[in-house]
Amino acid sequence: MWSCSGSAASASTSSRARGWWAPTKIIGVDVNDSKEEWGRRFGMTHFVNPKKVDGDIVQHLVALTDGGADFTFDCTGNTTVMRQALEACHRGWGVSVVIGVAEAGKEIATRPFQLVTGRVWKGTAFGGARGRTDVPKIVDWYMNGKIEIDPMITHVLKLEEINKGFELMHEGKSIPFGRGILKSSCSKPETSNTRRIGL
């Protein structure tokens, strides 16, 4: 999981809830060491800060996973990291999923060899969930305690504090693209409206 973010936690949590796999290693890759503790709360077993790795991060991860990861998830939106995530997959069956949204106009690239040796590179929107059929299941998982969402809420702010939320995100003090709660009052004082937004 590149980036110990809300997206990474969601990918790990929902994959386990769906029974897709029971990984022996879930490796979080992030340049912010303070994200290690948070990642471990959601099942991460190993943490790697690329800035503290001697040599190439891809080779480090391939060695750590005995030949490459079965699945990698890029949650950063950084096109260089997207390529690293693909190349850290296992030859023959590794799947790399792009979750993070890149800047407008950015392109991703790799050598064809990375794909003809059996790796799969794909993207996802909303985790591949189909609103009509999957959202009710996800709500049931949450209500039955199968998945945790509440711990992903790092701050509760009033709507007029929205800029503070973005400051917290940029300072690395909240989960990037995790969930914050913004509370706003409607025109009637007795009515309250709580909105969840990605910060």
Q: At what angle do helices 79-87 and 57-64 cross, to 10 degrees?
A: 40
20-43 pLDDT per residue, tens: 556 678 888 988 888 888 788 877
Answer whether 123's CB lies under 8 Å from 132's CB. no
80-118, pLDDT tens digit by residue?
Answer: 999 999 999 999 999 999 988 889 999 999 999 999 999
**pLDDT tens, 150-168?**
777 777 888 888 888 888 8
Counting residues of the chain whose pLDDT is more than 70, the rounded percentage is: 74
CA 97 – CA 91 distance, rounded (Å) = 15
Token digits for 13?
A: 């949590």
CA-CA distance, 160 to 1, in Å (whole number)? Answer: 33
